[in-house]
Structure 1
Amino acid sequence: MATAVWKKIAAGEIDPVYLLTGLEQHIFDSTIKRLKKALPDLDDASVIRFDLEETPVEVVIEEADTLPFLEDRKLIIAGNASFLKASDKNKEKVTHDLAQLEIWLKNPSPTAVVVFVAPYEKLDARKRITKLMREQATVIEAERLQGKDLFTWIQQEAGSKGARISADDAEVLVKMAGDDLLGLSSEIMKMATYLNGEGEITKAVIESLVPRTPEMDVFRLTDAYVTGKVAETIAIYHDLLRNGEEPIMLTSLIAGHIRLMFHVAALRKKGYQQQQIAKTLNVHPYRVKLMMENRSVPSEKRLLVILQNLASIDYKLKSTSGKRERLLELFFMESLR
């Protein structure tokens, strides 16, 4: 886990080679920030960046083996280590001397800290270089957090900014701002600043300071609609219209959410668990969790009817020049019987 490695870095236990892999950019940024802070007397000139889609890895090795100027160690960031994933010969711009990298990994430079960044969901575990990198480097899997882990991270992030937040209110924050760690970190910083670095981030603070994204409001709108809360559905819809959202775009987002509900229900019926469903549909497990916990979700048959009706609404919206807003509003007012 990233937190265990971060504790070692903060204690001055810095390894010569790191491998950061996964999709959470915030974890990459936080790790590099912590390394910069932990390395004594490190200035910007001693932080060197390479793009491995443009530069051969042997150039990185040569730089790592070159003695730093005035500092004990330099920090090298080698991004886009695509040679660790399944290769696509047609897209590769440079050829890497992986044999040289293998030799170097077994005896890395003592005067450099090299961070290989592989921002990909999966690496090719069959490759010799991937196996060796995992053996020789300190690996941080920047996986998307979910459930209690996500809420715990939010509480820790708030604490690092001098604020507090309960697990329940952390869930409110995720519902409003999404689950991207970089975006959540930014919103937590904003709220902590509002609280002058002390106090509690409550639901009221979140609702007053965190802007809702159209996608999150559509999530709320669709959830209200399928549970038969007509008044709430119409209220959210009018809020979206006041914010400049177009009925055609909203129809598309709602249809996407309904399709996701249908697929979650179908896979659940086949015995799939939350994690399996999320992986199969390539969506965050937290969204799947909310749908699985919602006992008011209509049957698969009814969801297909809603999708057919939305397709009809979409056609009318694209072929009429009248008041388009009214078409979708009438759709929301229909009963879900």
Structure 2
Amino acid sequence: MDVKAAVKAIRQGDVSPVYLLYGTEKYQMNEFTSLMEDQLLQKEERDFAIVHYDLADTPIQEVVEEAEMIPFMVQRKLIFVRDAAVFTAGKDSGKVEHRMESLLEYIGNPAEYSVLIFLVNNEKLDERKKVVKAVKSAGTVLSFMPMGSDELLRWIEKKAKQRECSFAPGAAEMLVRNAGTQLQTLAAEVDKLCLYAGSGGTVTTDIVDRLVARSTEQNVFALVEEIANLRLDQALGIFYELLKQKEEPIKIAALIARQFRIILQVKDLGGQSFSQQQIASQLGLHPYAVKIAGEQARKFQPNQLKAILSRLGDLDYQMKTGAIDKVLGLELFLLRLAG
């Protein structure tokens, strides 16, 4: 079952006794748990009907006891269990002893008045574990991973529609380029942009450019994009803007090197027929970042990228040893690169 199907089932009153939510996209996971609270509980019930546990300091058997206990003054209770590393690979390094057989027994005969929701901030579950197999069989397992690039842009447009405004062509993409891919940040920026545009208004690329400030990392990302497109004036403009913001030239050089390293890795993995999602997982990046790096990679040959990284390594050494002025060194690097 995917998240959309799970949401539909909950709205129709079809609720699993146990949910196992895992993945690295915490914002979406929190949205889903908020929806569960809204759909399954009345506001006045929540003080009695919502229970939180953390397996870092609570044994699983206590959670099971809570689930088996009849709720007080409400018909149903939701039990949220965080830090649920018992579902992932590797040894549990915590000091709490978890008797997993108690949870397995409970899953086989769950209480009708309790809903157990386990939250696992990890991109993978250990499919070999009995408890994972048991939840898959008797409950609902949902994955919350970063969206693909196109899905992310659709998500932004959907958020804007919910706030009664729309994004002009290219505006959503510019928002991601300026603000990054974190959903929490993007949601806040969409709120701000729609408030500026007004009800029924349209957020244009010009509005995004004026209202959404770029972080240092996003500025370097844009700088490399300008270099890839041989737009030296714009690249130098971004560089001087970073200096005005008191950014350390050595840090800027390190971020430029990181982006070129990503471009080389994406080019290499793409040449081995890896998909966008596979590359993102392999490199620990958001799929959107992989998409942009792939577009940049097409403008360079592998030997060019290796030569650029070698020059950046030399520049880093010269800057740190005082062999060259840091600002001048970066300016010369950008001029030679564009040339």
1:42–1:206 CA distance, 2 compared to 1 (3 A)? farther
Contact 2:104 2:134 in 1 (8 A): yes
Secondary structure of 1:88's counterpart equals coil
Alignment of 1:31-46 (within 5 A): 31-38=32-39, 39-40=41-42, 41-46=44-49
Partner of 1:280: 282
User: For the residues of structure 2 that align with 1:171 and 1:46, how far apart are their CA atoms?
Assistant: 41
Post-superposition Cα deviations, 1:196-231, rounded to whole Å, max 9, x if no partner, equal: 454222222222222211111111111212332211
Secondary structure of 1:334's counterpart equals helix
Amino acid corresponding to residue 234 of structure 1 in structure 2: L
Partner of 1:199: 201
- Confirm whether residue 224 of structure 1 aligns to residue 213 of structure 2: no
1:196–1:239 CA distance, 2 compared to 1 (3 A)? same
Post-superposition Cα deviations, 1:95-153, rounded to whole Å, max 9, x if no partner, equal: 22211111111222222222111111111001111111122222221011012222222
Deviation for aligned residue 1:323: 4.9
Partner of 2:153: 151
Alignment of 1:120-269 (within 5 A): 120-166=122-168, 168-269=170-271
Secondary structure of 1:231's counterpart equals helix
Partner of 2:90: 87
User: For the residues of structure 1 that align with 2:183 and 2:7, how far apart are their CA atoms?
Assistant: 16
Contact 1:56 1:95 in 2 (8 A): yes
Amino acid corresponding to residue 240 of structure 2 in structure 1: H
- Confirm whether residue 30 of structure 1 aligns to residue 31 of structure 2: yes
Percentage of identical aligned residues: 32
User: For the residues of structure 1 that align with 2:324 and 2:302, how far apart are their CA atoms?
Assistant: 33
Mean Cα deviation higher: 24-33 or 258-267:
258-267
Deviation for aligned residue 1:295: 6.5
Partner of 1:7: 8
Amino acid corresponding to residue 315 of structure 1 in structure 2: Y
Amino acid corresponding to residue 17 of structure 1 in structure 2: V
Post-superposition Cα deviations, 1:269-298, rounded to whole Å, max 9, x if no partner, equal: 333333333232222222222232347522
Contact 1:53 1:80 in 2 (8 A): yes
Aligned length: 336
Partner of 1:20: 21
Mean Cα deviation higher: 136-145 or 286-295:
286-295
1:193–1:335 CA distance, 2 compared to 1 (3 A)? closer
RMSD (Å) for aligned C-alpha atoms? 2.1
Post-superposition Cα deviations, 1:21-41, rounded to whole Å, max 9, x if no partner, equal: 111101121011111211124
Contact 1:2 1:27 in 2 (8 A): no
1:325–1:82 CA distance, 2 compared to 1 (3 A)? same
Deviation for aligned residue 1:184: 1.4
Secondary structure of 2:331's counterpart equals helix
1:101–1:238 CA distance, 2 compared to 1 (3 A)? same
User: For the residues of structure 2 that align with 1:125 and 1:157, how far apart are their CA atoms?
Assistant: 34
Secondary structure of 1:71's counterpart equals coil
Contact 1:291 1:297 in 2 (8 A): no
Deviation for aligned residue 1:12: 4.2
Amino acid corresponding to residue 24 of structure 1 in structure 2: E
Q: Which runs of 5+ in 1 are unaligned?
A: none
- Confirm whether residue 98 of structure 1 aligns to residue 123 of structure 2: no
Q: Could you tell me the TM-score, scaled by structure 2's length?
A: 0.91
1:213–1:109 CA distance, 2 compared to 1 (3 A)? same
